[in-house]
Amino acid sequence: MGRFWSIIFLSIPVLGTAIFVWAAMGWYPLEGHWFPELVVADDSVDHLFYTILWLTGIVFIVTGLCLFWFLWKYDHQKNEEPAQYSHGNHYLEVLWSVVPAIILLFLAIYQMDAWAGARMRRPMLENGQPKPPLARVTGRQFEWLIQYPGDDKKLDTADDIYLINELHVPRDEEVVLEITAKDVLHSFFLPNFREKQDVVPGMKQFVWFKPIKDGKYDIVCAELCGWGHYKMKGQITVESKNDFDAWLKKAYADQELSQYKLAEAE
Amino acid sequence: MSSITADGQAAHAHARNEFGVGEFLSTYVFSRDHKVIGIQFLFSTLLWFLIGGILAIGIRWQLAWPWSDMPVIGPLLFSAEGGQISPEFYTMLFTMHATVMTFLVIIPILAGAFGNFLIPLMIGAEDMAFPTLNMMSYWMMWPAFFFFGASFFVAGNGASSGWTSYPPLSTMTDAAPGSGLAQTMWLIGLTCVGVSSMMGSVNYLTTIIQMRAPGMTMMRLPMTIWGMFITALLQAFALPVLTAAGFMQLLDRTVGTGFFAPEGLVVNNSAMAAGGGQPLLWQHLFWFYSHPAVYIMLLPAMGMVSEMLCCFSRKPLFGYKPMVYAICGIAGLGFIVWGHHMFVSGMNPALGMTFMVATMMIALPSAVKTFNWLGTIYGGQIQFTTPMLFSLAFVSMFVLGGLSGIFMAATPVDVFIHDTYFIVAHFHYVLFGGTAMAVFGAIYFWFPKMFGRMMNESLGKIHFLLTFVFLNGTFFTMHILGAAGFPRRLADPYHYETFRPLLPINQFMTICAILMVASQIFFIVNFFYSIFFGPKAGRNPWHANGLEWQAPSPPGHGNFDFQPIVYRGPYEYSSPDTEEDYYPQTQPPVEK
């Protein structure tokens, strides 16, 4: 039976690798869904994921094969050598402490720049001031309230534009969004943008990205916010600067045509 | 306590004619004997394990066949809604699945069941240092069982703000159907579990430090005891924080304080009065306990696996001291990595970077342990018994769960895979693939000591094979879902068109999950059949070295029928000093 069990354990690295290859190649039913289409300029998340996948993949396969080989070779029904009376090996211990330590430290330092880019280096204006947000996104049970500042470029003034679950952003530009929440925690998750940030009531936060591909993509709520969490779905549209400006103008006009004034809507 | 006859059975066990209701209660119910308490913990937690498993099937059903009638269970539970799982019920399902599995199964089965049963036996003590406190630590679990159990029957059918219970969702009664009485009961239940663990950990620490048999130095302790010792330390330091946080949330809910609620909240179109607090504070306090709790759920399992790997490879443990240092390293680093649960929570990104470095480093002792386990089986005489197979499965699955953790530790990658199925895959590989496999192995391994009879090997191997296959069928593809951005905790992920093509994968996983729960029938049958009809076990059926194997099976009150004196470490298998391939810790050295 030792042979049988060895092969069962061999199946873990073999099938595990096969499934990852299957998924990364995008075969049925994953056509194009293993990592949703990337639509921002910054590919550091994907790059880092694949770097870690290669490193851990090698460790996974090597340890899996070692486990299999030891089980195959040292099965007590087949192995005629007596068990080795050994309490360890100092050099091996040093080796397998130092090598992983170096790899892990490398990974830790290697990713710092991507993190800083995503969370610390907010895009600047030419005058050195932080770029103001294009829009404010507020989560509440169970919808995304979108607020554009209007012509005066200031939020919370009379010419603000209010929308629900519909966010448009211009292509090829650094987009800064202000995100917050009204009631409970939500999470502003844009799978195609590799962006996710919990929105916390009472806290004002900023996210930024540079979209490079036109299209309509999902806004997903990724932090449990109550029974309707699953349907808190928005849509983000990336379009050229001209289309965006035209759309924004039309949205403003539609709002002005409405019989409700801002004071009543609030 | 000292009245033990030659065959090791307690004297009063023979005096059956005096055995009335009072004796029954004091022997089997309100017992102060660590072995009975351990077995009580074992039975209670295994029952909750089954309940937690059934809750998981509900989750899987909804993900595979959303909004369809659940056969058998659906009409029973939700005949009003036509047999469908409602979104609020789904939210309750995953909240209570995680709560039950974490607080009522894994933590008490490791520390409560195996900690209680094994610590005095393995260190050569006749009982715990504080037997009454020990009894109370079990009976503190019953209020918890009551509150968690009864919360299924109040409004909302149970707490439903996730097992992490993040405010304001959990503190605002209007925010969710389960945020009313059910959430209050959840918090009280959690506090009771915490008090129980606290009583246990004080007891374990004292017992291990004070009551070791002569010759049992710290560096001769079995790895199981090292795991339990460090676990007890972690509990003693981290639990007060969770208990305090739980009380703060209770106050927020009941008397209107505002520890976790900021000003100006508008929930369900009504403005909330409380304010001035910070939701992130709860997350910090919660994870300050719950991250060390991950190691509380792992270190004893690592210890037990080391035990079984040595015994069935007939080899000494490879690198005993590095293994001990690795456990200490995991525990020490375990206190400064809690922030990795909060990379995208809104915490200061500079702090996130610090936690990232610490988290990367905690992978190191885990890697050292894995390599030492491989070193242990290398060059052995491997016996493929059921406990050995489960231990090997632990190693194999722990490698997977450990490596997938590195993806989450990398902050930029975590931005994408946080709260997706990638993390669900990760912790199920560590907790089910890891700890649950170790627990199954440990039950097969120490069953003869607990009940004096052997479990059936063939049924055990069938149980192992089915569990191992379906476990991977259920959890492996979760990595793929995670990389596709599939979020967790959604009652209907297919509401998003992007995720609709992933439905066939989910259906495959659900079928595997149902079969995995179903294959536990082999374990249940084997367990109960063997308690009554299994072949009698001698003192040392596995030819192991530990002190517990020198006591009678099952040990009487007071454990040992001789004074154990320890001459060597616990893993002297295949020693050249003796003709047998094992060398019990109590056997005096052979004169040459």
Query: Are B396 and A64 inside 8 Å of each other by CB?
Result: yes
Q: How far is B125 from chain A (nearest CA, A)?
A: 27
Query: Are B498 and A218 inside 8 Å of each other by CB?
Result: yes
Cis peptide before A201 (omega within 30 of 0): no
Query: Are A2 and B502 inside 8 Å of each other by CB?
Result: no
ipTM, 2 decimals? 0.94
Non-local (6+) Cβ contacts of B153 within 8 A are none
CA distance linking residue B183 with residue B345, whole number of Å: 22
pTM more than 0.90: yes
**Phi, psi (deg, nearest 5) at residue B449:** -75, -35
> A135-265: which CATH number, 2.40.50.100, 2.60.40.420, 3.20.20.150, 3.90.1150.200?
2.60.40.420
Query: Are A12 and B505 inside 8 Å of each other by CB?
Result: no
Question: Which B residues, 452 through 481, put their C-beta within 8 Å of a C-beta on chain A?
Answer: 465, 468, 472, 476-477, 479-480
Query: Are B465 and A197 inside 8 Å of each other by CB?
Result: no
- Indicate which of A20, A61, A98, A119 best probes the interface with B, i.e. most B CBs within 10 Å of its own CB: A119
Whole-number pLDDT of residue B13: 47
Does the beta carbon of B410 lie under 8 angstroms from any beta carbon of chain A? yes
Does the beta carbon of A105 lie under 8 angstroms from any beta carbon of chain B? yes
What residues of A are in contact with residue B389 (Cβ under 8 Å)?
5
pLDDT digits (tens, 9 = 90+) for A21-51: 999 888 888 887 888 999 999 999 999 999 9
Does the beta carbon of A229 lie under 8 angstroms from any beta carbon of chain B? yes
Extract the runs of DSSP E, i.e. beta strands, from A92-247. 135-140, 143-148, 161-164, 166-170, 175-181, 186-190, 195-199, 205-209, 215-221, 233-239
Report domain extents, chain A. Answer: 2-79+91-119, 135-265
- Indicate which of A76, A109, A198 best probes the interface with B, i.e. most B CBs within 10 Å of its own CB: A198
How high is the mean pLDDT of chain A?
Answer: 92
Cα-Cα-Cα-Cα dihedral of B475, B476, B481, B485, to 10°? 90
For chain B, which domains are there?
31-259+276-550 (1.20.210.10)
Cβ–Cβ under 8 Å, residues B241 and B288: yes
CA distance linking residue B560 with residue B279, whole number of Å: 53
CA nearest B577 in A: which residue? Answer: A85
Does the beta carbon of B155 lie under 8 angstroms from any beta carbon of chain A? no
The bridge status of strand B270-271 relative to strand A215-221 is unpaired
Q: How far is CA B387 from CA A61, B71, B313, B393, B458, in A?
A: 24, 35, 12, 10, 12
CA B287, distance to chain mean position in Å, is: 17
CA nearest A82 in B: which residue? Answer: B381
What residues of B are in contact with residue A89 (Cβ under 8 Å)?
318-319, 375
pLDDT digits (tens, 9 = 90+) for A92-124: 999 999 999 999 999 999 999 999 999 999 999
Non-local (6+) Cβ contacts of B122 within 8 A are B221, B222, B224, B225, B546, B547, B548, B570
What residues of B are in contact with residue A96 (Cβ under 8 Å)?
367-368, 371
Whole-number pLDDT of residue A143: 95
- Give the confidence band of A152 by pLDDT, cuts at 50, 70, 90: confident
pLDDT tens over chain B, length 592 residues: 444 444 444 444 444 456 778 888 877 788 899 999 999 999 999 999 999 999 999 999 999 999 888 777 777 776 666 678 889 999 999 999 999 999 999 999 999 999 999 999 999 999 999 999 999 999 999 999 999 999 999 888 889 999 999 998 998 888 888 788 999 999 999 999 999 999 999 999 999 999 999 999 999 999 999 999 999 999 999 999 999 999 999 999 888 888 998 888 887 777 777 778 899 999 999 999 999 999 999 999 999 999 999 999 999 999 999 999 999 999 999 999 999 999 999 999 999 999 999 999 999 999 999 999 999 999 999 999 999 999 999 999 999 999 999 999 999 999 999 999 999 999 999 999 999 999 999 999 999 999 999 999 999 999 999 999 999 999 999 999 999 999 999 999 999 988 999 999 999 999 999 999 999 999 999 999 999 999 999 999 999 999 999 999 999 988 999 999 999 999 999 999 988 899 999 999 976 6
